[in-house]
Every structure is written in structure tokens, then in C-alpha cells.
């Protein structure tokens, strides 16, 4: 006999779409009432499993972690309702997590690609400009359709943020990834790096703390989304304080980026820039914080429907994953209250169901 779960509450099939009557039959969703009595009935507001669009499973503060630690990371994300992870760079091979019903669906990007000695030690494939194109090709072939560039980092010679690679080389590298069928996303803190990446035809920007009014029309027209990682940007004051004795210019810059973080996200939303939720968990941040990022986007000025959309319906569509559709895998979360009117309920999930299996 098939295993059946009935979801008895309102089904939020989109940011402005509510339905009633949803079931999981052997791990697949249906809106057609089955003849058999359900094995379980779960109450609550139903959403598709959350998406963490910037996460690092397999990465710790010192670089790659072992399989047991990576599993703990994935389970922490799952317990918080994250059922789809876009890996934004990891030095660990996490392919063993893919294909089952034990972990969130994982879309891998391979290792970060960074300039030599211009990123966190042990994280990235570090290359000089002449090696960037080939490094990007390698990561494009090793991942699941994404490559992660480190677009800028502190240049100790000038004492401030600076682009990692020359613009012409970045253009060639992005084109190489596209030739391999992969999209490219880039870590970008500073203002000028965004111009370089937009000129290169980048597919996504991480952090985007340097957004200026001049950038917004280009992001909207080129369809380039941002993943602000606001709970990560909250660490900038600590970074600035540690850097100040040696690099005061850099410290001032990081503080200035932090001070306008909320306004920049609100301005991007108002300009029609697509925004997706990502925690940046796995280096200095703990896993399982997707609700914190959703709430931070709401605090920054996104209506709650848009903040949820950044981690639910649009995020899944962007990554080629199903939402709450007939025949989709039963990856759902249930809130005890309506998340559109009671935002905090996303932090207190009533149930988490992965592939038709009740996790909590």
C-alpha cells in the first residue's frame, strides 16, 4: 500500500496563490484526493522546502571538513527547513550526499576560484590571471552547473578591497564557463567589482554590498540576481575591528558597506532586481539559519511575500527545481501560523517533510 500524508492546512503555492487539499503519496505531491485513508495528517500552512542559495556544506573555518561534519551541517540545514542548497563553493567532495532522501537536494559549484593568496586559506583553487580560464573550465566540469569566482578581496599592497583579476580575463573566464554549460556567480563586496562582473556577463552576484544607484538598472536589465547574505554581512564590524590596526582604509570601507546594507537591498528590490536568500553558512556561520536570512530580508524592506519568495517559489524556479506542483517530490515545510502575516513562524516550523518522509 502507498504511504500517504495529508496536508490539511492552506497550501501557499506561490507568493499570491493559496490552495487547499494537498497530499504526498509515496513521496510525490498530488492535489487529487486519494481513495485510501492517509497514514498521517499534518496541520499548518504549507510552503515548498526552503532554498539556501548560498551555502557551503563540507566547508569549515579552516577549510574542508570530514564526512561526519558535513553530514551534521546538512542535517542542521534540513532541520531548519532547507531542502535545496546551492553550494557556493566547497573544497570537500560532497557528491555522496546527492540522489537520496537523507539530505537536502544539493547543487554543487566545486571549489571557489580565487587569486593566489587573496582569499581564506584552504578554501579555493588559487590561480594567477593566466590560469583563471582553465581553472574555471575545470570547476565547471566538476560541479552541477555553477562556478564560484572570488571577485574581490583585500589587496594588502593598497590596503583595501580590490578586484581579484583583470577585467579582460574575467570576461574570458565567464565565457569559458558558459561554453561548458555552467553559470558563474561571484563573491563581490566592493563597488567597482560589480561593474567588472556586469561587463563580463556574470550570472549572479553574492553579497553585493557595493551596490550603487548606477548599478541597479544594469542588474535589472541583464537579469542578474543578487544573494545578499545579510546575516553574513552582520559580521563586517568584527572584521573591520580586527583589520583596523594594519589596514585602516579597508576597515573604514567594510564599515561603510555594512552601514548601508539594508538600504542597498531595499533599493535593489524597488528597482526590480531579483533577490534570493542565502546564509553563507559553513565558514564562520553555523548551518540551519535560513529563517534568519528570510527575516533579515523582510527587515531590510522586502514585503514578507517577497522575502519568502526569495527562499521558496522563485528560488526553486531559478534553480530548476519543482515547487508545490502535481507530481513534484514532496519537499515541504509547515508553519504553525500564516507566514505572510506572522513572519516569526518561519523560525518555529511545525513540520519538515523531505521526499515524503517526516523529518519533524
Task: Give the pTM.
Answer: 0.97
pLDDT of residue 242: 97
Q: Which three cell numbers stand for residue 278?
A: 542565502
For the chain, the distance separating the N- and C-terminal CA atoms, rounded to the nearest angstrom, is 23
Return the CA Rg of the chain.
20
List helix spans (H) across the chain.
67-79, 132-142, 167-179, 191-200, 216-222, 230-233, 236-243, 248-259, 261-270, 290-299, 304-309, 313-318
Task: State the DSSP code for 161.
Answer: E
Q: Left, alpha or beta for 63 (phi > 0: left; psi -120 to 50: alpha)? A: left
Give 10-78 as a DSSP string: -EEEETTEEE--EEEETTEEESSPPSSPPSEEE-SEEEEPEEEEEE-TTEETTEE--HHHHHHHHHHHH
* Phi, psi of 11, rounded to the nearest 5 degrees: -105, 110
Judged against a pLDDT cut of 90, whether residue 273 lies above it is answered with yes
Asked if 349 and 81 touch (Cβ cutoff 8 Å), the reply is yes
Share of the chain above pLDDT 90, in %: 98
pLDDT (average), residues 168-178: 98
Q: How far is CA 295 from CA 83, 239, 290, 304, in A?
A: 18, 23, 9, 8
Asked if 238 and 13 touch (Cβ cutoff 8 Å), the reply is no
- Grid look-up 590596526 returns 245
Judged against a pLDDT cut of 80, whether residue 259 lies above it is answered with yes
Q: To the nearest whole number, what is the mean pLDDT of the chain?
A: 97
Task: State the DSSP code for 100.
Answer: S
Q: Which three cell numbers stand for residue 161?
A: 578591497
Asked if 51 and 312 touch (Cβ cutoff 8 Å), the reply is yes
Kindly tell me the number of DSSP H helices and DSSP E strands found in the chain. Answer: 12, 23
pLDDT of residue 101: 86
Long-range pairs for 99-105 at CB < 8 Å and ≥24 separation? 101/27, 101/354, 101/355, 101/356, 101/357, 103/71, 103/74, 103/75, 103/78, 104/49, 104/52, 104/74, 104/77, 104/78, 104/354, 105/321, 105/331
Judged against a pLDDT cut of 80, whether residue 1 lies above it is answered with no
pLDDT of residue 359: 95
Q: If pLDDT is split at 50, 70 and 90, which confidence band does 100 have? A: confident
Amino acid at each position: 500500500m502507498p504511504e500517504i500524508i495529508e496536508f490539511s492546512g492552506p497550501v501557499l503555492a506561490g507568493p499570491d496563490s493559496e490552495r487547499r487539499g494537498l497530499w504526498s503519496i509515496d513521496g510525490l505531491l498530488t492535489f487529487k484526493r486519494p481513495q485510501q485513508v492517509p497514514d498521517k495528517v499534518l496541520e499548518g500552512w504549507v510552503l515548498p522546502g526552503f532554498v539556501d542559495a548560498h551555502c557551503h556544506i563540507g566547508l569549515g573555518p579552516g577549510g574542508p571538513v570530514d564526512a561526519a561534519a558535513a553530514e551534521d551541517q546538512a542535517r542542521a540545514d534540513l532541520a531548519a527547513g532547507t531542502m535545496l542548497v546551492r553550494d557556493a563553493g566547497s573544497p570537500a567532495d560532497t557528491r555522496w550526499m546527492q540522489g537520496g532522501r537523507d539530505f537536502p537536494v544539493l547543487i554543487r559549484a566545486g571549489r571557489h576560484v580565487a587569486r593566489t593568496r587573496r582569499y581564506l586559506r584552504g578554501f579555493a583553487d588559487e590561480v594567477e590571471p593566466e590560469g583563471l580560464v582553465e581553472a574555471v573550465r575545470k570547476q565547471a566540469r566538476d560541479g552541477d552547473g555553477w562556478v564560484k569566482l572570488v571577485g574581490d578581496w583585500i589587496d594588502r599592497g593598497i590596503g583595501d578591497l580590490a578586484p581579484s583579476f583583470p577585467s579582460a580575463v574575467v570576461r574570458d573566464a565567464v565565457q569559458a564557463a558558459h561554453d561548458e554549460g555552467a553559470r558563474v556567480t561571484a563573491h563581490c563586496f566592493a563597488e567597482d567589482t560589480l561593474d567588472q562582473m556586469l561587463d563580463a556577463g556574470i550570472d549572479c552576484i553574492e553579497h553585493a554590498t557595493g551596490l550603487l544607484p548606477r548599478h541597479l538598472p544594469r542588474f535589472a536589465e541583464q537579469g542578474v540576481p543578487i544573494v545578499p547574505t545579510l546575516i553574513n554581512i552582520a559580521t563586517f564590524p568584527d572584521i573591520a575591528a580586527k583589520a583596523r590596526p594594519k589596514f585602516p582604509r579597508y576597515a573604514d570601507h567594510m564599515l561603510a558597506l555594512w552601514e548601508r546594507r539594508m538600504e542597498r537591498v531595499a533599493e535593489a528590490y524597488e528597482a526590480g532586481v531579483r533577490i534570493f536568500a542565502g546564509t553563507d553558512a559553513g565558514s564562520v556561520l553555523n548551518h540551519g539559519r535560513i529563517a534568519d536570512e528570510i527575516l533579515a530580508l523582510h527587515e531590510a524592506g522586502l514585503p514578507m511575500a517577497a522575502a519568502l519568495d526569495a527562499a521558496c517559489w522563485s528560488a526553486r524556479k531559478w534553480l530548476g527545481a519543482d515547487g508545490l506542483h502535481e507530481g513534484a517530490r514532496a519537499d515541504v515545510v509547515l508553519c504553525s501560523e500564516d507566514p505572510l502575516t506572522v513572519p516569526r513562524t518561519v523560525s518555529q516550523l511545525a513540520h519538515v517533510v523531505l521526499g515524503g518522509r517526516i523529518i519533524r
